[in-house]
Amino acid sequence: MDCPHATEIWTQAGVRWSGGNVDSIQAWVMALIPTLSKEELNKVLMLLWGIWKNRNAQVWEQKGKHASDTLLLTLGWYEEYKKYHVVSRRQRPPPSHWIVPAPGQYKMNCDGAYQASSRRGGGGYVMRDSAGSFIAGQTKPYGLLTSPFHAELLALRDCILLARSLHHEEVVFESDCSLLVQAIHSPSQDLTTMNILIEEVRQLLQDHRGYSVLHVRREANIVAHTLATHALRSRESQVWFVLAPELIRDAIRNDVIVI
């Protein structure tokens, strides 16, 4: 509760508490529970685990991370967990599908993949038009990453750069990382050590008023996810135009296009 490292994480995460006479972490959590929503409580519990994990890394391996990196990594894991496990108690949510953009627009889906053991990652991006036809795609490997969020952020940036190189000005970008989309749209200037990359993405969006970034479910991002996973296993970037290779064609078959 009071360790400077932990306090910085709680502050950056937006977790506030009034303190009080508590003599254990259990009492502190029990005092917090009535003041938090379910989503906020989930985040607090995940951050407690992240702080403990980082403490152990420092004590036993001398590999502790900066507070902002701990926050990013832990919330990145939480986002990944929610994609696969957080569903309605009454019923699973209806399947989400990829939807074609409006006439005259293009849509680019992007995704990032991350491997903690090697700190490697990969980005995958695909552009389609208002008929759902493949226009361009790319896979790009990354090295020396700090978190899943880092991979997602690089993937979005490079996806935008690819669209810019193709001189398309009306483009909708979609990512299944809600933390990333929230960071891009947040007015905060000091979110994390990733702020330089975040500001670069924001500037690219400001320079191209026809660009927008939206959050979608994993089910609506199948092609980009397939490409990002492929990039994680490769050593070289690959770019395709007009004709989609078999890797992309197989993934596109799994998308249900709703007009």
Domains and CATH numbers, the chain: 4-85 (no CATH), 106-253 (3.30.420.10)
State which H helix or E strand residue 132 sits in.
none
Highest mean pLDDT of the ranges 12-26, 95-109, 145-159:
145-159
Cβ burial of 66 (10 Å; 0-12, 13-18, 19+) is: middle
Alpha helices for 104-194 (secondary structure H): 148-165, 178-185
Q: What is the CA radius of gyration of the chain?
A: 20
For residue 117, what are the CA distances in angstroms to 2, 74, 114, 120, 144? 31, 15, 9, 8, 11
pLDDT in tens, 66-117: 888 888 888 877 877 776 665 544 445 544 689 999 999 999 999 999 998 8
How far apart CA 135 and CA 111 sit, in angstroms, is 17
Q: Is the pTM of this model over 0.85?
A: no
Say what the pLDDT of residue 155 is: 97
Are the C-beta atoms of 170 and 210 separated by less than 8 Å? yes
Separation of CA 11 from chain center: 21
Is the four-CA dihedral 198, 202, 207, 211 of positive or negative sign? positive
DSSP codes joined into one string, 161-183: HHHHHTT--SEEEEES-HHHHHH
Say what the pLDDT of residue 164 is: 95
For residue 55, what are the CA distances in angstroms to 66, 70, 74, 211, 213? 11, 10, 13, 41, 36
Alpha helices for the chain (secondary structure H): 4-13, 25-32, 38-61, 67-85, 148-165, 178-185, 195-207, 222-233, 246-253
pLDDT in tens, 178-195: 889 988 987 765 555 688
How far apart CA 92 and CA 219 sit, in angstroms, is 13
